[in-house]
């Protein structure tokens, strides 16, 4: 399993072992699945960075499952939605051509970019997932990101306490993929 993401998956502000992706590997092992998780997440990465890095990662690791957790930084930088969509489609093309299962974790754009941009930004993840027959889940969870007790002092990144909650949120989509 390959996770390609940004700071939310790269365990920003904590030891890598404390992040939800490492906790995912622990749960997979505890449940007896044979999958190994490769965390190819980089803090600050965008869908453009992911699209450039994914071909090498796919060739190197030949994953049967790919989780894309990118887009939040595109929104923070107000990148054009067409560019983000093209990058997501490039990655989805590569994954589906390899016959790997795909999960796209959607992000949210900051509300100061306006309702039209934020709505279209949100919908882009669902639309790409639908087009490519991928699983989709919004990664930004109100009960975590709006709870100051679960956030780091920067109020942008979930803290250590929130990591198991992030894993629980995505597990419902990941476990069926492991059983396939």
Q: How many CA atoms lie within 13 A of 4 on its CB side?
A: 27
| pTM listed for this prediction | 0.97
> Which one of 3.50.30.60, 3.40.50.720, 3.40.50.1110, 3.40.50.1950 gives the CATH number of domain 2-172?
3.40.50.1110
**What was the pLDDT predicted at 24?**
98
Domain limits, the chain: 2-172
CA angle 120, 165, 22 (to 5 degrees): 100
Residue 128 Cα distances to 74, 109, 132, 135, 164, angstroms: 16, 17, 6, 10, 27
CB-CB contact of 100 with 64 (8 Å): yes
**What was the pLDDT predicted at 142?**
74
Name the phi and psi angles at 67, rounded to 5. -115, 120
CA distance 95 to 66: 7
**What was the pLDDT predicted at 167?**
97
CA distance 45 to 133: 24
**What was the pLDDT predicted at 180?**
87
- Catalytic amino acids? 7, 154, 157
CB-CB contact of 35 with 97 (8 Å): no
CA distance 105 to 114: 22
| pLDDT digit string (tens) for the chain, length 180 residues | 999 999 999 999 999 999 999 999 999 999 999 999 999 999 999 999 999 999 999 999 999 999 999 999 999 999 999 999 999 999 999 999 999 999 999 999 999 999 999 999 999 999 999 999 999 999 767 789 889 999 999 999 999 999 999 999 999 999 999 998
CA distance 135 to 16: 25
CA distance 121 to 123: 6
**What was the pLDDT predicted at 139?**
77
């Amino acid at each position: 399993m390959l996770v390609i993401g940004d700071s939310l998956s790269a365990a920003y502000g904590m030891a890598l072992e404390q992040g939800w992706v490492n906790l995912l590997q622990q749960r997979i092992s505890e449940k007896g699945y044979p999958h190994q998780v490769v965390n190819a997440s980089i803090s600050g990465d965008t869908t453009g960075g992911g699209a450039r890095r994914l071909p090498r990662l796919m060739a190197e690791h030949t994953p049967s499952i790919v989780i894309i957790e990118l887009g939040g930084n595109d929104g923070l930088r107000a990148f054009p939605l067409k560019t983000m969509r093209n990058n997501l489609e490039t990655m989805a093309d590569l994954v589906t051509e390899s016959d790997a299962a795909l999960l796209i974790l959607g992000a949210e754009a900051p509300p100061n970019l306006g309702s039209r941009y934020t709505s279209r930004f949100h919908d882009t993840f669902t639309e790409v997932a639908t087009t490519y027959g991928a699983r989709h889940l919004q990664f930004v969870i109100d009960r975590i990101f709006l709870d100051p007790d679960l956030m780091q002092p920067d109020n942008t990144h979930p803290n250590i306490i929130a990591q198991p909650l992030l894993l629980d949120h995505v597990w419902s989509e990941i476990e069926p993929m492991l059983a396939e």
